[in-house]
Structure formats: C-alpha cells, structure tokens
Amino acid sequence: MADTVTSFTGPTQESVDESIERIKDFLFSIQEEGGYWNCELPIDSTVACDYLLYFHWAGAVDQAPLERIAAFVKGRQNEDGGWSQFPGGPSEVNATVKGYHALKLSGESPNADIMIKAREKALELGGIPAMCTWHKLYLALVGCFPWKFCPLIPVELMLMPKWFPINIYRVSSWTRNMLVPLAVINHFKPTRIIEHCPDLNELYPDGTMEGDWGLKWSPKIISWKNFFLAGDKLGRFVNHLPQWIFRKRALKEAEGWICDRVTHGSDGMGAIFPAIMNALVALECQGYEKDHWIFEKNLQHFKDLTLDSEWWPTYGKTHGNGVDGPEDWRIAPCFSPVWDTAIATMAIAESGHDPADPRLQAAADWLLEREIKFRGDWKENCDFTEATGWAFEFNNDWYPDVDDTFQVVLGLKPLLATNAKAQENTLDRAIRWCRAMQCKEGGFAAFDKDINDAWLEEVPFADHNAILDPPCSDITGRALETLALMGYGLEDDVVQRAKKFLLDTQLEDGSWFGRWGVNYIYGTGHALRGLHAVGEDMTQGYVQRARNWLENCQNEDGGWGESIWTYHDVATKGEGESTPSQTAWALLGLMTFGNPNRPSIQRGIGYLLRIQEEDGSWRTKLFTGTGFPRVFYLKYDSYEWSWPLYALAKYRKLLTES
C-alpha cells in the first residue's frame, strides 16, 4: 500500500524547516519555569471511579468534588451504556462496573436511563463476577463483594527470604507497590457500608451477591493454577488458627516497608495512583490517624493527582487545558516530567538547536538534579553498588527505571549543563548502571532485572496481567541506541546479547511487539533504531522484513496508526487511524535504511506537515501509550509533539547527508 500513490509531491526543504521551527516554538512555550516539561497523561474513567470510592470509604466525601467527578465519568460513557479502556474501544466489564458504581455513589438514581443502560451492559459483560481480582477487593471495602471470594494475599510474604521462589522481590515493582498494602488490607478486611449504596446486587447475574464467586479450578489437575488455589485454601485455614505466630511480625514488617516508601524521596507510595490509594487504606487499618504526618503526606500526593491549573501553570495556559469548569475535572495516574523532558530535549537537540540556549541548559540542569542517589528496590536483584538512575515522576527514589534512564541519557548527552564535569560523570555512571541491569535473556526490562518467572502468572491475585517485568523489544531497542551514543558498538558483549534478544523476539512478519507503546509500530520502530545505531548491516534480510512490514501498514493518508485493540486481537496489528506519534515511530524506523526520497518516507513526512496545527503542535484524541496490555492504557500529550519533531529533524539531517 505504501508506495502506490504516484501523484504525491514530496515535502520541500522550506516546509520542513518551517515545521521544525514552529513545533520548537510550541514546545518552548509550554516548558515550565524550572526547565522541565510536564504534560498531561489522559486516561480512562476507572481511576476517577476509584478516587471517588476511596473518599466514600474514608468518610471524607466533602474532600472530593462529587459533581465534577460524576460529570467526568458520565462524559466517558459509551452509547451502549458501558465504559471503555480507551477512546473508541468496546465497553469493558471492569470499567463499566466501576462507572456504574461511581455514579451510584454520586447519588445518581438506579432508575435513571444512563444507569439502566449501564446496568444492562455490565450484566451483558458478566457483571461483578467477571471483574479482575483487585477490583473485586476494592468493592469488598464497601461491602459489594464477599471477602471470602477475594484471593488470599498473605502478608507473610514480607517474611519470605530472597532465595524463596515466591517473595515480594520476585514480582514487578508496580505489583509490589500495590501488593504489600493490599496484603495488609486483606488481613484487616475493613469493610465500611455506604448508606446510600449498601450493595451492588443488581450487577450480579442472579441479582444477589450470595453465591459461589471463587476462582475456578483448572480442568488440568496438575497445573500451577491448581497448585496456587490449593495454597490459597491452606492459607485460609492457617489464617483461622488462633495467634498465628508469624502474622503480627509480618504486619509490622509491612507497616515499616510502606512507611519507608511513602516518606523517603517519594511523592506518595510509588508516586502512582493505585499504590498511593492502597497505602492510605493500609495505613488507616494499622492505626494511623488522619492527622499523622505520614498519612497526611500520602493523602496530599493522592489529591495532587487531580489536575488543576496550579500544577501546570505554563502548559495549562498555553495548551488550553485549564480545569476550571465542572466538566473539565480530570485526574492523572502519576506525573511524567522526567520522561517528557528527556524526549523533548532529545528532539530539540536533534533539530540542530543551539545547546547553549539557556532554555536547554535549564533542562539539562534540571535532569541532572533529578538523578536518584539512593539504591532502591532494584538492588535486590542487581549487585551494582552505585546509586543512580532516573524515575518517571518528580520524586520516586525507590523506583528509578531503566527505560527512563536510557531516555535521559539520550536527551541529556547532546546538551550543555552548567556543570559539564558533573554531566559527564553522571552519564557515565548511568550507563554503567543500565548495563548492569541487562536481563539474562539479553534484553532490558523496565524496573528490575530478571523478574520473569512465568509460573507466577498463575497466582490467584495475578489477573491484572502485569505481575512480571520481562525484558522487551522496545526498551532493548532504546538501550542499543543509547549504548551507541555512549560509544559502544557491535564488538561489545552487552550489545551483542541485546542484539540477539531482538533477533529472538522478532515476529515472523518482521515486526516487534511493543510493551510500553502501541504497539507493533512502536516496537518495530525502536528495534530498528537501536540496531542501526550500533552499526548493524541494514541490508540483512531480517531488518528488511521489518521495513517491509512498516511500509505495508502505511495508511492511504501517508501516516501510520495502530489501535490499542491489537493487544486483544493480534489480527488487527498495524491497523488504525493515523496518529502523529505512530507516524513518527514508523518514520524513525524507516529512515534507518537511508534514502529520504523513498516514497513511504516522503508520504509520511508529508502527512505530518499537512496535519500540523497553526500553533505548531499536533493533536489527536487517540491513546498510543501502554500501561499494562489488556488492562490499562493512556495518552501522552507530549508524544504528539516531541516524536514528530524528532522524526522531522532526522529527516532533515538525512536529506543533508544524502
């Protein structure tokens, strides 16, 4: 499809130059005073629903703007009555039950038309019994699901040594952050009935919560699922023994673990919504008063996740994203300043912008200040002795991640910080840490090293589809690109192992799966960029297959797009409405082969120029970011601007070199 349009006239040098200057002006206009960028992360309605549920459970509904939250949830209801995980997606059971529950908590009559439609859709999707385990646990907090059917999360996990196959450091960091507070909650079972919403019987198939809603045994008798379900039964028996010897000690260990991660260099527990909310409930269970400074700190960070103009004074004003009206209430899962800043500076630097520009120097200094000089949870699986790395958020010292750190190196290396020596030393330290975090398969994961025991996916509370942190192609591609920038090539052992990982994970059609961005376009573009950067021969058959795949899924309008639905149905891979970021990722992959005059590249660049807004930005309502495949997705506003700029800058450089 890509090269069949023969009447297309390629973009002119002048139009490319003008486009680059316009988007740079826009990006600088939304740069915050401290030198960083912090753009919005639009998400589905489920986080807003949980926010509302928490304040009802806490008996503090006066602290939540009920009408504004209800308006937010109503505004995202589908025509069929349900709610989706992403714009344009089908109604999904977890989102639909949460949406219905939130509106009922807000005082909406169950007899209202929107509630009738929501109820019918929820039941059509299986109702509450079909929900994810962790969502059922939230419903149990307010008496809408029986605790006895929530899988046991034994707090004794806190006492398991690292050599034991199941311990808190053998699961992903985000699971760990949510799991420890949930284990405390699971012990105390702090149900509080909400007077005007005492149950959700109408969302059960038989119209009542009474019944057997436990997880079903696998028909395969010898299986990990049945092993863990048997363990769940045994754990419940032990729980009923009087004065179970290890329980008190485990609860104390969990309390200390939570408090450490709330108080030390963190914007709340894990600096992310679910963990912060779980920690609030767990702290209250363990006797923390609401005026205790640890509880207050965590609660304030929880509230700070709601978007108002105070958090984005420059971005909100310039981008028109103020939240002054009732219909404009929004909430973020977390903040993304490090990620947004590192991608923006990489793109601006690639355009040839003067690195001595005070605005870029301020960004460089800000990134240097954000280096984490504390050995967090990652040290449990990696023996690197120095403290370094960057987190995604403003402050999250326990959880720097490899992907952010690679991206910071890409964004910081071309800049001129005020302290050049500190910049050089920091980059060197960061790349050594990243190299030490390489997984045994040769690829790189997000937060930890070698957290990939597939059998743990059968644990009863692991149905959030993200208990592991396996190495992935997109991060590994970025790793290779960064290693090349720091002077490593194909002769390097780390590079060789990473290259082999990409060879092993390439799919038959030539594409790569995208774990942290949507989806195969993201994975393929990043893999090609990394391979090219370290000096791979781009005439080889396996990379040529990747180019052919990208070109074959180019849209008629010249752009590229891929729906989130590809995570649910692989047959739809490479298909979807064109978006600025996905077009940029495809172009960045294709340009690794050279030849800027290739029709697919010319048409892709033309698409970006054609849809650019008057203010220099690009706009789309579609999500192209991935939190947890099949579970949670998001949109990065910054992706619409920084990635197209990076692609245009690469194209201009390729034109010059050719």
> Which token pair is 42?
């639009």
List of residues 6+ apart from 109 with CB closer than 8 A: 115
Long-range contacts of 114-117 (CB under 8 A, 24+ apart): 114/74, 114/77, 114/81, 116/81, 117/77, 117/80, 117/81
Query: Environment class of residue 166 by beta-carbon count within 10 Å: exposed (0-12), middle (13-18) or buried (19+)?
Result: middle
Cα-to-chain-centroid distance, residue 341: 16
Inter-residue contact 501 to 441 (CB < 8 Å) = yes
Q: Which amino acid is at 609?
A: L
Is residue 403 part of the annotated active site? The answer reads: yes
The residue assigned the tokens 């329980």 is 247
Beta strands in 391-448 (DSSP E): none
CA angle 472, 478, 483 (to 5 degrees): 120
Question: Residue 361 to residues 332, 347, 350, 417: CA-CA distances in angstroms?
Answer: 28, 15, 15, 5
> HEC string of 77-131?
CCCCCCCECCCCCCECHHHHHHHHHHHHHCCCCCCCHHHHHHHHHHHHCCCHHHC
Tally of CB atoms within 10 A around 563: 22
Q: 143: alpha, beta or left, given left = phi > 0 and alpha = psi -120 to 50?
A: left
Strands 625-628 and 632-634: antiparallel
3-state DSSP helix/strand/coil % of the chain, to nearest 5: 55, 5, 45
Nearest to 51 by CA among 302, 225, 226: 302
List of residues 6+ apart from 208 with CB closer than 8 A: 201
Query: Environment class of residue 535 by beta-carbon count within 10 Å: exposed (0-12), middle (13-18) or buried (19+)?
Result: middle
Catalytic choice (340, 403, 474, 637): 403
The CA distance from 157 to 176, in Å, is 11
Q: Which amino acid is at 156?
A: E
Inter-residue contact 558 to 604 (CB < 8 Å) = yes
Inter-residue contact 402 to 445 (CB < 8 Å) = yes
Inter-residue contact 474 to 527 (CB < 8 Å) = yes
Backbone angles phi, psi at 43, to 5 degrees: -140, -175
Catalytic residues: 403
